[in-house]
Structure formats: C-alpha cells, structure tokens
Amino acid sequence: MTPFSLHGIGVSNGIAIGKAHLISNALLEVVQYDIDKKNIHHEIKRFEDAIAAVRIDLNKIKSQLPSDSPGELGAFIDTHLMILNDKSLSVLPKSIIENEKCNAEWAIKKQMDSVVNQFDQIEDQYLRERKQDVIQVVERVIKILLGHSNQIAVKNKEKLTILVAHDISPADALHFKNHKYAAFITDGGGVTSHTAILSRSLNIPSIVALQNARALIRDNDLIIVDGTEGVVIVNPTQEIQTHYKKIQNSWDSEQEKLQRIKTKKSITKDGAPIHLFANIEVPNDIVSVNASGASGIGLFRTEFLFMNRQDMPNEEEQFQAYKKVAEAMGKRPVTIRTLDSGADKQTALDNKKTSPNPALGLRAIRLCLSEPKVFMTQLRAILRASQFGNIKILFPMLSSISELRQTKLILERAKASLRKEKVKFDENILIGGMIEIPAAAISADIFAQELDFLSIGTNDLIQYALAIDRTDDAVSHLYNPLHPAVLRLIALTIKSAHKYKKSIAICGEMAGEPKLTKLLIAMGVEQLSMHPSHILSVKQQVLSSSIKNMRTSVIKLLNLNEVDKIETLVKKINQST
C-alpha cells in the first residue's frame, strides 16, 4: 500500500513503530429505534444497569491504581465519576426513554449532545475541552449497552501495539501502567487535554489532534509515531522503516545513557552550579521527583489540591499534603506556590464567579486577595508544614508592589495567628514572587527589593507579552519563547535579581526544553524547574556548557530583532562547549 503521513500535535517525545489497534468509537454505532410501551420499564432498567456497571468499573480502576501512579490519574477518575453521577446523565435520559419511547443508547447520546452544546458556548479553552470528559463517560455507558468488551484488547505484542482512537479517556489510559503499549494517537484532544497530560506523565510517544487518523488507518496497519515532530506515517516503505528505526535506536540509547548522569552534580564546565528542580501537582508526584535525581521541588502547583471537587480543602487537609512533601524531601527545598486558580484551572471558588476573559480576570493572587479567608487558610497550612522541611512560599501573578504588600500583610496575619495559638513554624521562611506578567518583568527591580527570590513563569509571560492564547490552535504557531521581546523581559528580570543578590529561577516550559538550557544559564539563570522526566536531558546540557564561552553570543543575541536570526544563534550556542 502507498505510504502516507498525518500531522498533529506531539505531546510526548520519542519514536514508536508498531501495528495499529483501532479502538471502537461507540458513539458512531448508536442508532435510534422505537421501544414498545410495555417494554419501557425494561429499557429504563437496562439503562440503570449500564450506569451502575460503569460506576463499578471506574471505582475498580481507581482502587487498583499502583502506588507510584501519577497523582493526577486518581483525580481524573473522580472527575468521571462526578460526571457519571450528575443527574443530567444518570437521570434525565430515563425521561427521554419514557417520553420518546426510544432505546437507552439513543436517549443518553441525545442528552449528551445537549450537555456538550452548553460546553461549546464557553469561551475558556480549558473548560471547552472538558466536554471530552463528558463524551468519554457517555461512551463507556454506551459500550456497556451495546455489549462491547474492553476496547483496549491486546492484539499484538504490547511493545509493538499502537492504539488509534478518536479519543482515549483517562480511565482507559490507565491500562498503560499495566500494559507497556508503544504509543497512542488520537483524532481529538489539545495540548491542555487530559489525554495530553496523561501521555506526558506516562512518558510514551503520543500525538493528539490528528483529526482523521481513526478513519484513515486500518486495524493492523504498520505505523510510525514520531511524538517529537507530531507526525504519523502509515504503511511506511522498508526504507522509511529503516530510517526511523535508526532514530528510535538512537533515542533509546540516549535515554539509557542519561541514567548515568543521574547522581552527577549539575555544574557547568567552568564550575557554575545550576540547580535542577522538579514541578509537581500532588504529593504522590514525589516518587517521580526522587527517581529523576532532582535537587528539590521548584514549583508545587497547589491548585491541583483544589480541583475536581465541589468543596474547598480545609486547613488540616492542606497541612497534611504539604507536610507529606516536606518530610519526603528532607533538607531539599520545596517551593510551594499559593493557589493559582482561575483561567484554565477551575476550582469550587471559580465556579462562583464568571469572567468574559478568564485569563485576564480574577485569578491567582488577585483571586486570593479577594477571598482572604481562603488565602489565610492556605497560608496557615503552609506555615504549619514549614517546620517539617525546607519550605519556601511563592506568590503567583504579581503585577504591582501594592499587590505584593497586601499579600505580605495577610502572610504576617497568618503568622501572628499561629504564634497566638503557640503553633510552631519556620519564622525565617523565604518568600518569592512569580514574574509572569510583562508589568512585573519591567518592575522586577522593585519586586527584587521586597522578596527573597524571583521565579519566571515563562508560559504566561509569553502569552501575555505576545497577546496569544497558547491553548488556541489558530494562533499557536505565533507562541514563540525566542521572540526578542520575551527574551528581553527575561533578561531584565535576571538583571534585577542579580543586582539585589536574589536567586532567580525559571519554572515554565522553557526550563524543561534542552535546546534552551545553554541560552538560559548563559543569561544568568541559576535554577531551572521542570517536569521530572526532563531533568536528565537538561542536566546533560548543563554539564557540557561553559558560561564564559557563551556570554558574548548571548549579548549579541539580546540585541537581535528577528526571530530567525535568534534561532540561528541559539543553534550555535548549543554547539559550543
């Protein structure tokens, strides 16, 4: 057969070569048929049994999660259970069956279409993508109604099996922990979808947003998945296979070699120490942090403790979570970012508020200052946990010095309340600020005077500096970390930190990109915080760097105005030793 290629969004790097296994899309198989009036009760019972079966299945999957599973997996299952138990899906379809005298499959699909249509009206990209969770839950119910068996069956040797689907639910993806599949590719999904998040945590080559892969690929077709480039090659020639096998072998060899430097200190060739930290979302992520050889935790995204639930975690629950991480890390630093809720990260607190433009609305520190009781609860929990380890506090999305001073005032009140109760905490706990708004970068010298450390959040800094929604595929090609304005904002922040002898870190996606490592440390960054799976690749770049030899090139680069020229110079910097 003639080879052809498909292009999507690569969300997890690496090369996989194997046979395609198509996962059935139950929604496409649903047809409407009439139910005799005397059989309506039986049809409703069939629907109720399917809902109960899916509930049992999801709870079973959650109970069987390995102890070292990524922490977000349990949260995904909880989300699907919450959707399943919502009356819009578990109750209203019964009325449709009764009123329209139709089959259960058609009733729940019709109700799903109504619910999904409501999601399509939401402007926020992250919330729009949550409609996929609704679809995935309904698809599980329909599979039961249609009598389908488990859709992820082993048809070939697992290491040679590539799953092809319209979309894969987090619950189905959990099977990857027990079965070593080569890769998966989907028609749907985006860079912020649960599917993409899962693929990165499971560390297998994955591509989403292929649009028509499931329709164009046949069961048992030989396919190549290039997760790095976001390309799928179907029915490759022997020559193409040989080419990609060489790339695959080289990739695998490099991953094995990286393990050799796990215990090496992260120091440049000219003796500059570069601290490599890990980003985490939940306490269970500590397992992958320790496996990576990270020097500590540079970013604990606490909002994930608040997500996928209808209530707010109380002080004791938060305290136990922070304490668990602090104790596990020992003397290694743990930087806890206060609640960065809003925009693409919704919590029960956000559900009370609406904004025409969530990314520019009441979020992060703004939201915390507007909800002082919630903020005080979190600060008390963090302070209480500080006596059990080396904890630092990081405030997100600061934009003005008055905002920072309000924040520090509430922190002092939290300390005073604990002193009054004779509760111990680290009286000298360090506090830092996220520089992720252009206004903050321009005013970095002011923030540096009032904070113990600065941390650059490059994801939002790029988004706000370039006026680009990084979750919008229509403009994602304009999202460029090497834009001269972005680099100058970063350089300005670094200069301000150095001027007042404050430590400076980067904790956005740029920190975990090996192609940018040499540039960032030559610019003066002392700490990089990233997903644990990226640490060894970045360390490899650090070990082969000489800041002294790169400094002249960086000065030249910061005076360039064209992205293509900057990219060319970055390549030269990466070739330097």
Both tokens of 78, joined, read 């909880």
Instruction: Give me the long-range contacts of 210-214 (CB less than 8 A, separation at least 24).
Output: 210/6, 210/7, 210/8, 210/185, 210/186, 211/6, 211/8, 211/187, 212/6, 212/187, 213/6, 213/8, 213/164, 213/185, 213/186, 213/187, 214/22, 214/23, 214/25, 214/164, 214/165, 214/166, 214/186, 214/187
Beta-strand runs (E) in 28-104? none
What average pLDDT does this structure show over 83-97?
A: 92
Alpha-carbon distance values, 433 to 133, 159, 430, 449, 576 (Å): 34, 44, 11, 11, 33
pLDDT in tens, 157-187: 667 889 888 776 655 554 555 567 888 898 8
Whose tokens are 């990466």? That residue is 574
- The yes/no answer on whether domain 266-575 falls in CATH 3.40.50.300 is no
Radius of gyration of the chain (CA): 25
Assess whether the region 4-23+152-256 and the region 26-145 belong to the same CATH fold. no
Does pLDDT of 12 surpass 70? yes
**Any catalytic annotation for residue 507?**
yes
Mean pLDDT of 517-523: 97
What's the token pair of residue 17? 């070569």
Grade residue 459 by pLDDT with cuts at 50, 70 and 90: confident
- The identity of residue 498, as a single letter, is H
Whether the predicted pLDDT of 137 surpasses 80: yes
Residue 223 has pLDDT above 70, yes or no: yes
**What is the per-residue pLDDT across 308-348, written as a single tens digit (0 to 9) for each?**
566 788 999 999 999 999 999 999 999 999 998 654 444 54
pLDDT at 64 (0 to 100):
79
206, 317, 529 from 10: Cα distances, Å: 6, 36, 22
Q: Is 194 a catalytic residue?
A: yes
Q: Which amino acid makes up residue 500?
A: Y
The 3-class SS string of 427-449 reads CCCEEEEEECCHHHHHCHHHHHH
Instruction: Please check whether residue 27 is in contact with residue 167, taking contact to mean a CB–CB distance below 8 angstroms.
Output: no
Query: Domain segments of the chain: what residues?
Result: 4-23+152-256, 26-145, 266-575
The tens digit of pLDDT for each residue in 415-445 reads 999 999 999 999 999 999 999 999 999 999 9
- Decide if domain 26-145 falls under CATH 1.10.274.10: yes
Give 128: exposed, middle or buried? Use CB within 10 Å, 0-12, 13-18, 19+.
middle
| Residue-level pLDDT at 102 | 93
pLDDT confidence of residue 147: 77
Q: What pLDDT is stored for residue 381 in this prediction?
A: 97
Is the pTM higher than 0.75? no
Integer Cα distance of 310 and 306 in angstroms: 9
Q: Are 151 and 172 in contact (CB under 8 A)?
A: yes
Q: 336-345, 395-404, 496-505, 539-548: which has the minimum mean pLDDT?
A: 336-345
Q: Is the pLDDT of residue 149 over 70?
A: no
User: Catalytic: which of 102, 368, 507, 531?
Assistant: 507
Catalytic residue among 21, 80, 166, 194: 194
For the domain bounded by 4-23+152-256, which CATH number is listed? 3.50.30.10
Report the relative pairing of strands 206-208 and 430-435 from DSSP bridges. unpaired
Q: Measure the CA dihedral 445/447/451/456, to 10°.
A: -90
Q: What is the pLDDT of residue 343?
A: 46
Predicted confidence (pLDDT) per residue in 279-314, tens digit: 988 788 888 899 999 999 999 989 878 865 667 889
Instruction: Give the residue with greater pLDDT, 125 vs 237.
Output: 237
Q: What is the mean pLDDT of residues 236-254?
A: 93
> In the predicted model, is pLDDT for residue 151 greater than 60?
no
